[in-house]
Amino acid sequence: MEGKPLKRMRSDDDESNNNTTQSKVWVNEKINDSRDPEKMKAVHDKTTKMLFKAAANLDANNKETASTKDEACSQQQQQQQQQQQQPQQQQQQQQQQQQQQQLAPVAASSHNLCEQYQLIGDGNIILRDMNPDVANPGLERRLSNCCQRPTLIRGTCVNCTFDLCEECGYSCVECSQFICRTCVTLFGNRPEEAEHPLCEVCQMFVA
């Protein structure tokens, strides 16, 4: 009967075995590169370059974001200003329309006023027709545009279309049209001596 074979002896069991225990060590290229100063310096330079590039891109993105926000804010401000200006423009248009409506009747009735009233430039008004049956235009005391004083008659000069009132206006002695003090002075009549003021048309034919 054969006996069982003995197990293989381990290296440590045999005193006559001079072979040391072997062990496996994994050495790859990364480990070798980590021990090379030149390669590690190249890695360091590359990492530094990437960091600076990322920081520059971040600054550029922040600037773009800030500029976008500024543009959005400026657009909002412009829209708000336009919205605020629209009511003001509407109010101005309404005021202009009201002024035109107020001036239209004055211009239309200035012809009637010069036929009914005579101005002598010192604030006095002379009624041309003293007949009580004559329907004279009603006079209302309001602030004049020329003298900025409350006056009864507000009209326009037949020569230059400037505003006038009984404080600074005259009546042409020939056609009874209203003339401002400036035109009376230009045509040779001083305001204090304007006894026979003439308008531009009458000055050509009468003088």
Residues of the chain scoring pLDDT < 70: 1-23, 25-27, 99-111, 130-138, 186-194, 207
CA atoms within 13 A on the CB side of 177: 17
Strands 154-156 and 169-171: unpaired
Q: Which pLDDT belongs to residue 71? A: 80
Q: What is the pLDDT of residues 147-170, one digit of tens each?
A: 888 998 888 999 888 899 999 999
3-state secondary structure of 128: coil
State residue 155 phi and psi, 5-degree precision.
-140, -165
State residue 164 phi and psi, 5-degree precision.
-150, 165
- Contacts of 140 by beta carbon, 8 Å cutoff, 6+ apart: 152
Strands 163-165 and 154-156: antiparallel
Residues in the chain: 207
In whole angstroms, give the CA distance from residue 175 to residue 114. Answer: 9
Q: Write down the pTM of the prediction.
A: 0.43
Q: Which pLDDT belongs to residue 132? A: 57
In whole angstroms, give the CA distance from residue 27 to residue 48. Answer: 27
Instruction: Check: CB of residue 169 under 8 Å from CB of residue 155.
Output: yes
Q: Which pLDDT belongs to residue 165? A: 92
Domain boundaries, the chain: 35-98, 109-206
Q: Which pLDDT belongs to residue 182? A: 85
Q: Which pLDDT belongs to residue 90? A: 77
Q: Which pLDDT belongs to residue 17? A: 57
Q: Which of the 8 DSSP states describes residue 12? A: T
- DSSP secondary structure letters along 20-72: PPP------HHHHHHT-HHHHHHHHHHHHHHHHHHHHHHHHHHHHHHHHHHHH
Q: Which of the 8 DSSP states describes residue 207? A: -
